[in-house]
């Protein structure tokens, strides 16, 4: 149980284009979803927290207009990187927490590797 | 805010030996401490967790200990195997459901 998927697993795009990453909880309802960014050999950097039906809460230094987060249902959250630039290239990982016994921890997706040319 | 320190940053052990990774946290209100294993190119996977009302928890070859007074917790892996090689992250839960993560330990098990 508590499986989280991400799509796509990797994406290459041209500078200036937008990229959407999907995060889905497959076997539980995710009341809260988190988006992280991870650089090589570094820890996880929280970008934003989103609750279903509410606007995302962004961490300091994360541009909300550049990283659009939508959590429209209890099983789906999306991260859209708008007008992507090479410096946005990174490994993006989502996580989700649910209700009841799944409320306490975060279950991570497999990650999406973004390369902006 | 919360600060989680993790040591060592890299650890190499011979297959069959034990590995210990230590973390300290600063917020005494933290009450939940998960450990994640991240293999190359993949997302972190929860391997064990402990709550603040428990001092030790064990799951087969993996155990976690918590010292609330000293604000530190440790991951113990016994009888290590090559497939244990990965990066391990500790975390401490603070406000709401957010986690502070340690900086990671790259474990290499040498066959």
Q: What is the pLDDT of residues B82-94, one digit of tens each?
A: 999 999 999 999 7
Is the CB of residue A59 less than 8 Å from the CB of residue A69?
Answer: no
- The reply to whether residue B98 touches residue A6, judged by beta carbons under 8 angstroms, is no
B44: chain A residues, CB-CB within 8 Å: 44, 93, 95, 108
The mean predicted confidence, pLDDT, of chain B is 94
Give chain A's length.
117
Q: Flag whether residue A62 sits within 8 Å of chain B, measured between CB atoms.
A: no
Average the pLDDT over A101-115 and give the result. Answer: 91
Percentage, residues of chain A above pLDDT 70: 100
pLDDT beyond 70 at A26: yes
pLDDT beyond 80 at A35: yes
Half-sphere exposure of A64 (CA within 13 A, CB side): 10
Q: What is the DSSP string of B18-82?
A: -EEEEEEE--TT--EEEEEEE-TTS--EEEEEEETT-SEEEETTEEEEEETTTTEEEEEE-S--G
pLDDT of residue B3: 86
Q: Is the dihedral of CA B39, A61, B34, B96 positive or negative?
A: negative
Q: Flag whether residue A32 sits within 8 Å of chain B, measured between CB atoms.
A: yes
Q: Chains A, B: CB contacts under 8 A, how many?
A: 53
Q: What is the DSSP string of A1-69?
A: ---EEEE-SEEEE-TT--EEEEEEESSS--SEEEEEEE-TT--EEEEEEEETTSPPEEPTT--TTTEEE
pLDDT of residue A103: 77
B39: chain A residues, CB-CB within 8 Å: none
Confidence of residue B1 (pLDDT cuts 50, 70, 90): low
């Amino acid at each position: 149980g508590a499986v989280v998927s991400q799509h796509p697993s990797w994406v290459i795009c041209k500078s200036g284009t937008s990229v959407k990453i999907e995060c889905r909880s497959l076997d539980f309802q995710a009341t809260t979803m988190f988006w992280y960014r991870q650089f090589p050999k570094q820890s996880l950097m929280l970008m934003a927290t989103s609750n279903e039906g509410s606007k995302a809460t962004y961490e300091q230094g994360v541009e909300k207009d550049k990283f659009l987060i939508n959590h429209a249902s209890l099983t789906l959250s999306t991260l859209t990187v708008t007008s992507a630039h090479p410096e946005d290239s990174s490994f993006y990982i989502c996580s989700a927490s649910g209700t009841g016994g799944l409320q306490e921890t975060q279950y991570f997706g497999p990650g999406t590797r973004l390369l902006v040319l | 805010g919360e600060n989680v320190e993790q040591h060592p940053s890299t650890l190499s052990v011979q297959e069959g030996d034990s590995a210990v990774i230590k973390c300290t946290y600063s917020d005494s209100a933290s009450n939940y401490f998960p450990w994640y294993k991240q293999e190359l190119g993949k997302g972190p996977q929860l391997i064990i967790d402990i709550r603040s009302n428990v001092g030790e928890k064990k799951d087969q070859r993996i155990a976690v200990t918590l010292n609330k007074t000293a604000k530190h917790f440790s991951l113990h892996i016994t009888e290590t195997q090559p497939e244990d090689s990965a990066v391990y992250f500790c975390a401490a839960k603070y406000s709401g459901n957010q986690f502070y993560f340690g900086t990671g330990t790259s474990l290499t098990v040498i066959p």
